Structure 1
Amino acid sequence: MSTTTTNNHHPNTKPKPKPKSAKPPSKPTRVYLTLYNLLSFTLWATSTVHALSLLLLQQTPLPQIFTAVFPLLLATQSLALLEILHSVVGLVRAPVFTTAMQVASRILLVWGIMYLFREGGVAVAGTGAGAGAGAGEAGRKGIVGVEGMEGGEEQMQVQVQVADYGFLGCVFAWGITECIRYGFFVLQVSGLGVPAWWAWLRYNTFYVLYPLGITSECVMVVMALGPAAEWMPVYRWFLVVVLGIYVPGSYILYTHMIAQRRKALKKKD
Protein backbone atom coordinates (compact mmCIF):
# COMPACT_ATOMS: atom_id res chain seq x y z
CA MET A 1 0.00 0.00 0.00
CA SER A 2 1.54 3.26 -1.07
CA THR A 3 1.04 6.63 0.50
CA THR A 4 0.97 9.79 -1.58
CA THR A 5 2.18 12.96 0.05
CA THR A 6 1.53 16.46 -1.19
CA ASN A 7 4.29 19.02 -1.05
CA ASN A 8 2.87 22.53 -1.15
CA HIS A 9 6.34 23.87 -1.97
CA HIS A 10 6.88 21.68 -5.02
CA PRO A 11 8.16 23.83 -7.90
CA ASN A 12 5.45 22.49 -10.24
CA THR A 13 2.66 23.35 -7.82
CA LYS A 14 1.12 26.75 -8.53
CA PRO A 15 -0.21 28.62 -5.53
CA LYS A 16 -3.91 29.32 -5.64
CA PRO A 17 -4.62 32.93 -6.53
CA LYS A 18 -6.21 34.97 -3.80
CA PRO A 19 -9.71 36.18 -4.59
CA LYS A 20 -9.68 39.80 -5.63
CA SER A 21 -11.64 42.09 -3.40
CA ALA A 22 -13.98 44.55 -5.06
CA LYS A 23 -12.28 47.85 -5.76
CA PRO A 24 -13.94 50.61 -3.75
CA PRO A 25 -15.54 53.33 -5.87
CA SER A 26 -13.71 56.60 -6.29
CA LYS A 27 -14.84 59.69 -4.41
CA PRO A 28 -16.49 61.31 -7.49
CA THR A 29 -18.36 58.05 -8.12
CA ARG A 30 -19.55 57.89 -4.51
CA VAL A 31 -20.72 61.50 -4.63
CA TYR A 32 -22.56 60.95 -7.91
CA LEU A 33 -24.24 57.73 -6.75
CA THR A 34 -25.21 59.30 -3.43
CA LEU A 35 -26.84 62.26 -5.19
CA TYR A 36 -28.54 60.02 -7.76
CA ASN A 37 -29.97 57.72 -5.10
CA LEU A 38 -31.00 60.65 -2.93
CA LEU A 39 -32.83 62.27 -5.84
CA SER A 40 -34.55 59.00 -6.73
CA PHE A 41 -35.55 58.44 -3.10
CA THR A 42 -37.03 61.94 -2.90
CA LEU A 43 -39.00 61.57 -6.13
CA TRP A 44 -40.39 58.15 -5.20
CA ALA A 45 -41.26 59.29 -1.68
CA THR A 46 -43.07 62.35 -3.07
CA SER A 47 -45.08 60.27 -5.55
CA THR A 48 -46.00 57.63 -2.98
CA VAL A 49 -46.94 60.03 -0.19
CA HIS A 50 -48.93 62.16 -2.63
CA ALA A 51 -50.94 59.14 -3.80
CA LEU A 52 -51.47 57.97 -0.21
CA SER A 53 -52.61 61.43 0.84
CA LEU A 54 -55.09 61.67 -2.03
CA LEU A 55 -56.45 58.21 -1.29
CA LEU A 56 -56.75 58.31 2.51
CA LEU A 57 -56.89 61.96 3.55
CA GLN A 58 -58.71 63.59 0.65
CA GLN A 59 -60.61 60.46 -0.45
CA THR A 60 -59.99 61.36 -4.07
CA PRO A 61 -61.56 59.03 -6.68
CA LEU A 62 -59.03 56.63 -8.17
CA PRO A 63 -59.15 58.04 -11.73
CA GLN A 64 -58.30 61.48 -10.37
CA ILE A 65 -55.41 60.05 -8.35
CA PHE A 66 -53.87 58.82 -11.59
CA THR A 67 -54.25 62.24 -13.20
CA ALA A 68 -52.58 63.93 -10.23
CA VAL A 69 -49.74 61.46 -9.64
CA PHE A 70 -48.83 60.15 -13.08
CA PRO A 71 -46.74 63.08 -14.44
CA LEU A 72 -44.24 62.85 -11.58
CA LEU A 73 -44.31 59.05 -11.64
CA LEU A 74 -43.50 59.09 -15.36
CA ALA A 75 -40.46 61.32 -14.85
CA THR A 76 -39.32 59.40 -11.77
CA GLN A 77 -39.44 55.99 -13.44
CA SER A 78 -37.82 57.31 -16.63
CA LEU A 79 -34.85 58.45 -14.55
CA ALA A 80 -34.18 54.78 -13.75
CA LEU A 81 -32.93 54.27 -17.32
CA LEU A 82 -29.63 55.60 -15.98
CA GLU A 83 -29.31 52.44 -13.89
CA ILE A 84 -28.76 50.35 -17.00
CA LEU A 85 -25.93 52.70 -17.94
CA HIS A 86 -24.53 52.50 -14.41
CA SER A 87 -24.42 48.72 -14.69
CA VAL A 88 -22.91 48.70 -18.20
CA VAL A 89 -20.04 51.07 -17.38
CA GLY A 90 -19.37 49.41 -14.02
CA LEU A 91 -20.41 52.17 -11.63
CA VAL A 92 -22.38 49.51 -9.74
CA ARG A 93 -22.01 45.74 -9.50
CA ALA A 94 -25.61 44.98 -10.48
CA PRO A 95 -25.94 42.46 -13.36
CA VAL A 96 -26.73 44.20 -16.65
CA PHE A 97 -29.32 41.62 -17.75
CA THR A 98 -31.47 41.64 -14.62
CA THR A 99 -31.17 45.42 -14.30
CA ALA A 100 -32.28 45.89 -17.91
CA MET A 101 -35.19 43.47 -17.47
CA GLN A 102 -36.50 45.24 -14.40
CA VAL A 103 -36.15 48.75 -15.80
CA ALA A 104 -37.57 47.76 -19.21
CA SER A 105 -40.72 46.28 -17.68
CA ARG A 106 -41.36 49.49 -15.75
CA ILE A 107 -40.67 51.67 -18.80
CA LEU A 108 -43.14 49.59 -20.80
CA LEU A 109 -45.77 50.15 -18.13
CA VAL A 110 -45.37 53.91 -17.73
CA TRP A 111 -44.79 54.79 -21.39
CA GLY A 112 -46.25 51.87 -23.34
CA ILE A 113 -49.40 51.40 -21.26
CA MET A 114 -50.18 54.28 -18.88
CA TYR A 115 -49.03 57.10 -21.15
CA LEU A 116 -50.51 55.70 -24.37
CA PHE A 117 -53.81 54.40 -23.03
CA ARG A 118 -54.61 56.92 -20.30
CA GLU A 119 -57.64 59.14 -20.74
CA GLY A 120 -56.60 61.61 -23.44
CA GLY A 121 -53.61 59.49 -24.42
CA VAL A 122 -52.26 59.24 -27.95
CA ALA A 123 -53.51 55.69 -28.50
CA VAL A 124 -57.12 56.40 -27.50
CA ALA A 125 -57.59 59.94 -28.81
CA GLY A 126 -59.23 58.78 -32.03
CA THR A 127 -61.22 55.83 -30.71
CA GLY A 128 -64.88 55.81 -29.86
CA ALA A 129 -66.17 56.19 -26.34
CA GLY A 130 -65.88 52.99 -24.39
CA ALA A 131 -63.26 51.51 -26.69
CA GLY A 132 -60.98 50.60 -23.83
CA ALA A 133 -61.47 47.37 -21.96
CA GLY A 134 -63.60 48.16 -18.97
CA ALA A 135 -64.35 51.72 -20.13
CA GLY A 136 -66.64 53.64 -17.83
CA GLU A 137 -70.13 54.96 -18.48
CA ALA A 138 -69.00 58.59 -18.41
CA GLY A 139 -67.60 58.37 -21.95
CA ARG A 140 -64.08 57.47 -20.90
CA LYS A 141 -61.92 56.29 -23.77
CA GLY A 142 -58.76 55.49 -21.84
CA ILE A 143 -58.26 52.57 -19.49
CA VAL A 144 -57.01 54.75 -16.62
CA GLY A 145 -57.27 58.33 -15.41
CA VAL A 146 -59.73 61.07 -16.28
CA GLU A 147 -59.51 64.43 -18.03
CA GLY A 148 -61.08 67.79 -17.27
CA MET A 149 -62.68 66.69 -14.02
CA GLU A 150 -62.58 68.89 -10.97
CA GLY A 151 -63.96 68.27 -7.51
CA GLY A 152 -67.63 67.98 -6.62
CA GLU A 153 -70.45 65.74 -7.80
CA GLU A 154 -69.16 65.60 -11.37
CA GLN A 155 -65.95 64.00 -10.15
CA MET A 156 -67.78 61.40 -8.08
CA GLN A 157 -69.81 60.21 -11.09
CA VAL A 158 -66.72 58.88 -12.87
CA GLN A 159 -66.78 55.10 -12.83
CA VAL A 160 -63.66 53.42 -11.51
CA GLN A 161 -62.09 50.99 -13.97
CA VAL A 162 -60.00 47.90 -13.31
CA ALA A 163 -56.85 49.61 -14.55
CA ASP A 164 -57.33 52.38 -11.98
CA TYR A 165 -56.84 49.74 -9.29
CA GLY A 166 -53.89 48.34 -11.23
CA PHE A 167 -52.27 51.76 -11.29
CA LEU A 168 -52.74 52.19 -7.56
CA GLY A 169 -51.13 48.79 -6.96
CA CYS A 170 -48.16 49.78 -9.12
CA VAL A 171 -47.70 53.10 -7.34
CA PHE A 172 -47.62 51.59 -3.87
CA ALA A 173 -45.66 48.44 -4.75
CA TRP A 174 -43.08 50.39 -6.74
CA GLY A 175 -43.02 53.39 -4.43
CA ILE A 176 -42.49 51.53 -1.15
CA THR A 177 -39.93 49.22 -2.76
CA GLU A 178 -37.94 52.06 -4.28
CA CYS A 179 -38.01 54.24 -1.17
CA ILE A 180 -36.50 51.36 0.78
CA ARG A 181 -33.99 50.51 -1.97
CA TYR A 182 -32.77 54.01 -2.76
CA GLY A 183 -32.69 54.96 0.91
CA PHE A 184 -30.58 51.86 1.56
CA PHE A 185 -28.13 52.86 -1.18
CA VAL A 186 -27.89 56.46 0.07
CA LEU A 187 -26.92 55.25 3.53
CA GLN A 188 -24.57 52.59 2.16
CA VAL A 189 -22.72 54.60 -0.51
CA SER A 190 -22.42 57.74 1.60
CA GLY A 191 -20.79 55.75 4.40
CA LEU A 192 -23.41 56.68 7.00
CA GLY A 193 -24.19 53.03 7.65
CA VAL A 194 -27.44 51.13 7.18
CA PRO A 195 -29.52 50.48 10.32
CA ALA A 196 -30.44 46.84 10.90
CA TRP A 197 -34.15 47.54 10.58
CA TRP A 198 -33.66 49.22 7.19
CA ALA A 199 -31.59 46.27 5.98
CA TRP A 200 -34.38 43.96 7.13
CA LEU A 201 -36.89 45.94 5.07
CA ARG A 202 -34.55 45.87 2.08
CA TYR A 203 -34.25 42.10 2.03
CA ASN A 204 -37.70 41.00 3.19
CA THR A 205 -40.47 43.31 1.97
CA PHE A 206 -40.07 42.19 -1.64
CA TYR A 207 -41.71 38.88 -0.70
CA VAL A 208 -45.02 40.78 -0.58
CA LEU A 209 -44.40 43.88 -2.68
CA TYR A 210 -42.98 42.10 -5.73
CA PRO A 211 -46.04 39.84 -6.30
CA LEU A 212 -48.29 42.88 -5.77
CA GLY A 213 -46.34 44.86 -8.34
CA ILE A 214 -46.24 42.06 -10.92
CA THR A 215 -49.97 41.39 -10.54
CA SER A 216 -50.79 45.09 -10.92
CA GLU A 217 -48.55 45.37 -13.98
CA CYS A 218 -50.21 42.37 -15.64
CA VAL A 219 -53.64 43.87 -14.94
CA MET A 220 -52.59 47.08 -16.69
CA VAL A 221 -51.29 45.19 -19.73
CA VAL A 222 -54.42 43.03 -20.00
CA MET A 223 -56.68 46.07 -19.80
CA ALA A 224 -54.71 47.70 -22.63
CA LEU A 225 -55.23 44.79 -25.05
CA GLY A 226 -58.65 46.02 -26.19
CA PRO A 227 -57.73 49.60 -27.09
CA ALA A 228 -54.37 48.42 -28.45
CA ALA A 229 -56.18 46.24 -30.99
CA GLU A 230 -58.11 49.27 -32.25
CA TRP A 231 -55.11 51.59 -32.23
CA MET A 232 -52.48 49.26 -33.73
CA PRO A 233 -53.17 45.50 -33.97
CA VAL A 234 -49.48 44.63 -34.11
CA TYR A 235 -48.98 46.43 -30.80
CA ARG A 236 -51.65 44.25 -29.24
CA TRP A 237 -49.72 41.17 -30.29
CA PHE A 238 -46.58 42.72 -28.86
CA LEU A 239 -48.38 43.08 -25.51
CA VAL A 240 -49.54 39.47 -25.72
CA VAL A 241 -45.91 38.40 -26.15
CA VAL A 242 -44.95 40.61 -23.21
CA LEU A 243 -47.51 38.83 -21.03
CA GLY A 244 -45.97 35.52 -22.09
CA ILE A 245 -42.53 36.77 -21.06
CA TYR A 246 -43.76 38.07 -17.71
CA VAL A 247 -44.03 34.62 -16.13
CA PRO A 248 -40.44 33.44 -16.75
CA GLY A 249 -39.13 37.00 -16.44
CA SER A 250 -40.74 37.59 -13.07
CA TYR A 251 -39.41 34.23 -11.87
CA ILE A 252 -35.86 35.22 -12.88
CA LEU A 253 -36.09 38.56 -11.09
CA TYR A 254 -37.75 37.05 -8.02
CA THR A 255 -35.10 34.34 -7.63
CA HIS A 256 -32.40 36.96 -8.24
CA MET A 257 -33.71 38.98 -5.30
CA ILE A 258 -33.84 35.87 -3.13
CA ALA A 259 -30.20 35.15 -4.05
CA GLN A 260 -29.26 38.73 -3.15
CA ARG A 261 -30.96 38.28 0.20
CA ARG A 262 -28.98 35.11 0.90
CA LYS A 263 -25.69 36.82 0.04
CA ALA A 264 -26.51 39.73 2.31
CA LEU A 265 -27.39 37.43 5.20
CA LYS A 266 -24.16 35.45 4.72
CA LYS A 267 -22.11 38.64 4.92
CA LYS A 268 -23.77 39.49 8.23
CA ASP A 269 -22.96 36.05 9.61
Structure 2
Amino acid sequence: MTLKTNYLLLYNLISLLSWTYLTARVLTADDVTSHSNELLTNVTVLQTAAAIEVVHAVLGLVRSSPATTALQVGGRNLVIWTVMRRFPDLVFSSATGRLGFVGCLLAWGASDILRYAFFVAQLGAGGGSAMGLLRWLRLVDALSST
Protein backbone atom coordinates (compact mmCIF):
# COMPACT_ATOMS: atom_id res chain seq x y z
CA MET A 1 0.00 0.00 0.00
CA THR A 2 1.13 3.52 -0.71
CA LEU A 3 1.47 6.27 1.86
CA LYS A 4 -1.62 7.96 0.40
CA THR A 5 -3.67 4.76 0.72
CA ASN A 6 -2.49 4.15 4.28
CA TYR A 7 -3.30 7.74 5.27
CA LEU A 8 -6.78 7.62 3.71
CA LEU A 9 -7.45 4.22 5.27
CA LEU A 10 -6.47 5.52 8.71
CA TYR A 11 -8.49 8.73 8.27
CA ASN A 12 -11.59 6.84 7.16
CA LEU A 13 -11.22 4.21 9.90
CA ILE A 14 -10.95 6.89 12.60
CA SER A 15 -13.96 8.70 11.10
CA LEU A 16 -15.95 5.45 10.95
CA LEU A 17 -15.19 4.60 14.57
CA SER A 18 -15.90 8.17 15.71
CA TRP A 19 -19.30 8.38 13.99
CA THR A 20 -20.19 4.89 15.18
CA TYR A 21 -19.38 5.90 18.76
CA LEU A 22 -21.32 9.17 18.54
CA THR A 23 -24.34 7.52 16.93
CA ALA A 24 -24.32 4.77 19.58
CA ARG A 25 -24.14 7.43 22.33
CA VAL A 26 -27.18 9.20 20.88
CA LEU A 27 -29.12 5.93 20.57
CA THR A 28 -28.27 4.81 24.11
CA ALA A 29 -28.66 8.14 25.89
CA ASP A 30 -31.42 7.88 28.45
CA ASP A 31 -31.88 11.64 28.27
CA VAL A 32 -30.26 13.70 25.52
CA THR A 33 -30.44 16.85 27.62
CA SER A 34 -28.32 15.36 30.41
CA HIS A 35 -25.66 14.39 27.82
CA SER A 36 -26.00 17.56 25.75
CA ASN A 37 -22.53 18.96 26.48
CA GLU A 38 -20.81 15.68 25.63
CA LEU A 39 -22.82 15.09 22.45
CA LEU A 40 -22.51 18.68 21.27
CA THR A 41 -18.76 18.71 21.92
CA ASN A 42 -18.28 15.39 20.11
CA VAL A 43 -20.27 16.38 17.03
CA THR A 44 -18.52 19.78 16.93
CA VAL A 45 -15.06 18.21 17.01
CA LEU A 46 -15.99 15.52 14.48
CA GLN A 47 -17.64 17.83 12.01
CA THR A 48 -15.10 20.66 12.33
CA ALA A 49 -12.29 18.15 11.71
CA ALA A 50 -14.14 17.01 8.60
CA ALA A 51 -12.97 20.25 6.95
CA ILE A 52 -9.82 18.27 6.12
CA GLU A 53 -11.95 16.44 3.56
CA VAL A 54 -12.10 19.65 1.52
CA VAL A 55 -8.29 19.71 1.55
CA HIS A 56 -8.27 16.04 0.45
CA ALA A 57 -10.46 16.95 -2.51
CA VAL A 58 -8.47 20.06 -3.44
CA LEU A 59 -5.19 18.11 -3.35
CA GLY A 60 -6.67 15.32 -5.46
CA LEU A 61 -6.25 12.66 -2.77
CA VAL A 62 -9.87 11.65 -3.38
CA ARG A 63 -12.11 11.84 -6.43
CA SER A 64 -14.68 14.07 -4.73
CA SER A 65 -15.37 17.52 -6.05
CA PRO A 66 -13.91 20.22 -3.78
CA ALA A 67 -17.05 22.33 -4.22
CA THR A 68 -19.43 19.50 -3.33
CA THR A 69 -17.32 18.48 -0.35
CA ALA A 70 -17.10 22.09 0.87
CA LEU A 71 -20.87 22.45 0.55
CA GLN A 72 -21.56 19.30 2.57
CA VAL A 73 -19.00 19.98 5.31
CA GLY A 74 -19.78 23.70 5.36
CA GLY A 75 -23.53 23.12 5.61
CA ARG A 76 -23.18 20.86 8.61
CA ASN A 77 -20.69 23.19 10.28
CA LEU A 78 -23.02 26.10 9.69
CA VAL A 79 -25.81 24.28 11.54
CA ILE A 80 -23.50 23.28 14.37
CA TRP A 81 -21.68 26.57 14.88
CA THR A 82 -24.51 29.06 14.18
CA VAL A 83 -27.44 27.21 15.75
CA MET A 84 -26.45 24.34 18.04
CA ARG A 85 -23.43 25.96 19.70
CA ARG A 86 -24.74 29.50 19.70
CA PHE A 87 -28.20 28.65 21.06
CA PRO A 88 -27.85 25.42 23.08
CA ASP A 89 -30.68 26.46 25.40
CA LEU A 90 -33.09 26.61 22.48
CA VAL A 91 -31.86 23.28 21.14
CA PHE A 92 -32.10 21.39 24.42
CA SER A 93 -34.93 23.17 26.26
CA SER A 94 -37.78 22.01 24.04
CA ALA A 95 -38.89 18.67 22.68
CA THR A 96 -38.74 20.10 19.16
CA GLY A 97 -35.17 21.32 19.64
CA ARG A 98 -34.03 17.98 21.08
CA LEU A 99 -35.77 16.14 18.24
CA GLY A 100 -33.98 18.32 15.68
CA PHE A 101 -30.63 17.77 17.38
CA VAL A 102 -31.09 14.00 17.62
CA GLY A 103 -32.43 13.90 14.07
CA CYS A 104 -29.35 15.68 12.72
CA LEU A 105 -26.96 13.43 14.62
CA LEU A 106 -28.74 10.22 13.60
CA ALA A 107 -29.05 11.24 9.95
CA TRP A 108 -25.42 12.35 9.77
CA GLY A 109 -24.31 9.27 11.70
CA ALA A 110 -26.18 6.80 9.49
CA SER A 111 -24.90 8.47 6.35
CA ASP A 112 -21.31 8.77 7.53
CA ILE A 113 -21.10 5.28 9.00
CA LEU A 114 -22.09 3.89 5.60
CA ARG A 115 -19.78 6.25 3.73
CA TYR A 116 -16.70 5.64 5.87
CA ALA A 117 -17.34 1.87 6.04
CA PHE A 118 -17.46 1.87 2.24
CA PHE A 119 -14.16 3.76 1.99
CA VAL A 120 -12.47 1.53 4.60
CA ALA A 121 -13.62 -1.60 2.76
CA GLN A 122 -12.59 -0.13 -0.59
CA LEU A 123 -9.14 0.94 0.59
CA GLY A 124 -8.44 -1.98 2.88
CA ALA A 125 -10.03 -4.98 1.27
CA GLY A 126 -10.09 -3.79 -2.31
CA GLY A 127 -13.55 -5.23 -3.01
CA GLY A 128 -15.40 -8.40 -2.23
CA SER A 129 -18.96 -9.13 -1.19
CA ALA A 130 -18.93 -6.46 1.50
CA MET A 131 -18.33 -3.86 -1.19
CA GLY A 132 -21.47 -4.91 -3.06
CA LEU A 133 -23.62 -4.56 0.06
CA LEU A 134 -22.03 -1.24 1.04
CA ARG A 135 -22.36 0.10 -2.52
CA TRP A 136 -26.07 -0.82 -2.49
CA LEU A 137 -26.60 0.77 0.95
CA ARG A 138 -24.84 3.95 -0.17
CA LEU A 139 -27.11 4.10 -3.23
CA VAL A 140 -30.21 3.67 -1.05
CA ASP A 141 -28.90 6.38 1.30
CA ALA A 142 -28.21 8.75 -1.61
CA LEU A 143 -31.63 8.17 -3.13
CA SER A 144 -33.39 8.75 0.19
CA SER A 145 -31.50 12.02 0.67
CA THR A 146 -32.73 13.55 -2.57
For the residues of structure 2 that align with 1:206 and 1:96, how far apart are their CA atoms?
A: 18
**Deviation beyond 6 Å, 4+ runs, structure 1:** none
Q: Which residue of 1 aligns with 2:119?
A: 185
Q: Which has the higher contact order (CA 8 A, sep 6+)?
A: 2
Q: CA deviation at 1:192?
A: 4.1
Q: Which residue of 2 aligns with 1:77?
A: 47
For the residues of structure 1 that align with 2:143 and 2:37, how far apart are their CA atoms?
A: 29
Q: Which residue of 2 aligns with 1:206?
A: 142
Name the structure with the higher helix share: 2
Q: TM-score, normalised to structure 2's length? A: 0.90
Structure 2 counterpart of 1:28, one-letter code: L
Q: CA deviation at 1:66?
A: 2.9
Gaps of 5+ in 1: 1-25, 119-141, 146-158, 211-253, 255-269
For the residues of structure 2 that align with 1:84 and 1:112, how far apart are their CA atoms?
A: 20
Q: CA deviation at 1:65?
A: 4.2
Structure 1 counterpart of 2:72, one-letter code: Q
Q: How many residues align?
A: 144
For the residues of structure 2 that align with 1:189 and 1:204, how far apart are their CA atoms?
A: 21
Q: Which residue of 2 aligns with 1:86?
A: 56
3-state SS of paired residue (1:116): coil
Give 1:132-171 correspondences, 5 Å limit.
142-145=89-92, 160-171=94-105
For the residues of structure 2 that align with 1:177 and 1:187, how far apart are their CA atoms?
A: 16
Q: TM-score, normalised to structure 1's length? A: 0.51
Gaps of 5+ in 2: none
Q: CA deviation at 1:113?
A: 1.3
Q: Which residue of 2 aligns with 1:109?
A: 79
Contact 1:66-1:167 at 8 Å conserved across structures:
no
For the residues of structure 1 that align with 2:118 and 2:84, how far apart are their CA atoms?
A: 28
Task: Give the CA RMSD over aligned residues.
Answer: 1.7
Return the match for 1:173 from 83, 107, 127.
107
For the residues of structure 2 that align with 1:169 and 1:72, how far apart are their CA atoms?
A: 15
